[in-house]
Structure 1
Amino acid sequence: MKRTNICNYCFFIVFMMCIPFFAGCGYHLHAAGETVGVEIKSLAIPMMTSTSSVLGFEGDFTEVIREEFISHSDVPLVPRDEAQMVLLGNIRQIETAPLTYGINETQVDNRDTYYEVTDSRRLRIRLDAKLIDRGTGRVMWEERGMEEKARFYVTTDPLTNRYNEKKAIKDIAKRLADRIYLRTVERF
C-alpha cells in the first residue's frame, strides 16, 4: 500500500512539472539582434538634430548610434528614402556644471591669495528619439527627455579640456545609443 502511494505521489509530481511544457506560456526566445514584434526590414538613422546652444557634435553622436545598430543588429542601415523605418533624434539640451573644485594659492602684493578652480565638470545631455514607419507615418515608439550624465576632468590646457569633454559626449552617446537600440530592436 505504501509503495502505491509513493508511486502515485511521484507520478503526480512529474505530471505537475510537465504541465508548463505542454501549456506553453507565450514567451519566446529570440536571437540577439533580432527584432521582436514588428519586423524591421531596413532602418535609416539620419543625422541627429540639435536645438541646444552647443553645436558641432551631432555627427559624432549619430555615428555612435549607427555603430550600435551595425555591431549588434542584422537590420540593414539604408538611406532615408529607402528605409522601412526611420529613427529620428533631437538633442534638446547639453549642460555642463562644475562638479569638484580645488584650491590654488598665489601671491598678490606679497599676500597669499586663495581661489577655487574647477577640477571636474558634469556634462548632461537630454535627447528626444522616435522610431517612425516611413510608409505609414505611424510612430512605433517615442521617448522624450532621455537623459545621461558623465564627468570629465578640467586642466589648465584648453585642448585637453576639449578632448575630455568630447570623450564624455561620446560616452553619453554610447549609453543613449544602447537604450535606443534596446527600445528599437528588442521590444516586448
Structure 2
Amino acid sequence: MERLKALSLTVFLVFILHGCGYHFSGEGPGPKPGLKRIAIPVFENRTGEPELGSLFAAALRQQFFMRGNLQVVPEDQAEVIFRGRITDIYTSSVAHIDVQQTIQTRLYVTLDIRCQDAQTGKAIWQDPQFTYYKTYLMVPDPIASFDNRREAFEFLAKEMAIRIHDRFLSNF
C-alpha cells in the first residue's frame, strides 16, 4: 500500500511539474542549445509601403541586441538566419464621426517570418502568417495622419519583434 501511494504521488508530481501544455505559436523545433550567432538581413517587402523591410528587421535586431545572449552578425558568420517577408498590410475603419469621416483606423501587418539553419537552409522555426495590428488616429491634417500611421508602423515593428524573439527562444 505504501508503494502504491509513493507511485501515485510520483506520477501526480510528474504531471503537475510538466506544465499545462501551453506553448507559443510558430512551427519548428526552435533553436539548438549552444546557438551563438544569428543574422537578420533586411526583410523582403511585398507591399507598396516604403522602408518597411528595414524597419522591421532593425526592430528584431534590436530585440536580440537588448535581450539575448545571441550575437547578431553578418550572414556569412551566422549559424542561423532570420528571413522575413512583409506579405500584407491593410487597414479597417474603427471609429467614425459621420458616414464619410473616419477618426480611427486599424492598421494590420502580416509577416512570413522564419529562422533557417545557415548551412542547410532548413527552417528551424517559422510563422508564415504572423499578423498584428495597431489602431491610430486619423485627423483632418494629412501630415499629422501620415505621422500617426508611421508611428503605428514603428509600434508594430517593435511589438512584433518582441513576440518573434520570445516565441523563438521559448524552446531554449
TM-score tier after normalising by the smaller chain length: 0.7 to 0.9
Higher relative contact order (CA 8 A, sep 6+): 2
Post-superposition, which runs of at least 4 consecutive aligned residues in structure 1 deviate over 4 A?
Answer: 15-20
Q: What's the CA shift for 1:18?
A: 8.3
Matched-pair contact (CA < 8 Å) for 1:43–1:76: yes
| Root-mean-square deviation (Å) | 3.1
**For 1:152, which of 118, 136, 147 is the aligned residue?**
136
Secondary structure, counterpart of 1:129 in structure 2: strand
CA distance in 2, matches of 1:158, 1:173: 23
In structure 2, what is the equivalent of residue 88 of structure 1? 83
Counterparts of 1:36-115 in structure 2, within 5 Å, are 38-39=32-33, 40-103=35-98
How many pairs are equivalent? 162
Counterparts of 1:12-51 in structure 2, within 5 Å, are 19=10, 38-39=32-33, 40-51=35-46
For residues 9-29 of structure 1, the C-alpha deviation after alignment (integer angstroms, 9 at most, x for no partner) is 9xx98x679858xx8x996xx
In structure 2, what is the equivalent of residue 175 of structure 1? 159
CA distance in 2, matches of 1:19, 1:187: 25
CA distance in 2, matches of 1:177, 1:26: 30
**Aligned AA for 1:38?**
K
**Aligned AA for 1:74?**
N
Matched-pair contact (CA < 8 Å) for 1:130–1:139: yes
Counterparts of 1:132-143 in structure 2, within 5 Å, are 132-143=116-127
In structure 2, what is the equivalent of residue 121 of structure 1? 105
Q: What's the CA shift for 1:67?
A: 1.1
TM-score (norm 1): 0.73
TM-score (norm 2): 0.79
Runs (5+) with no aligned partner, structure 2:
19-29
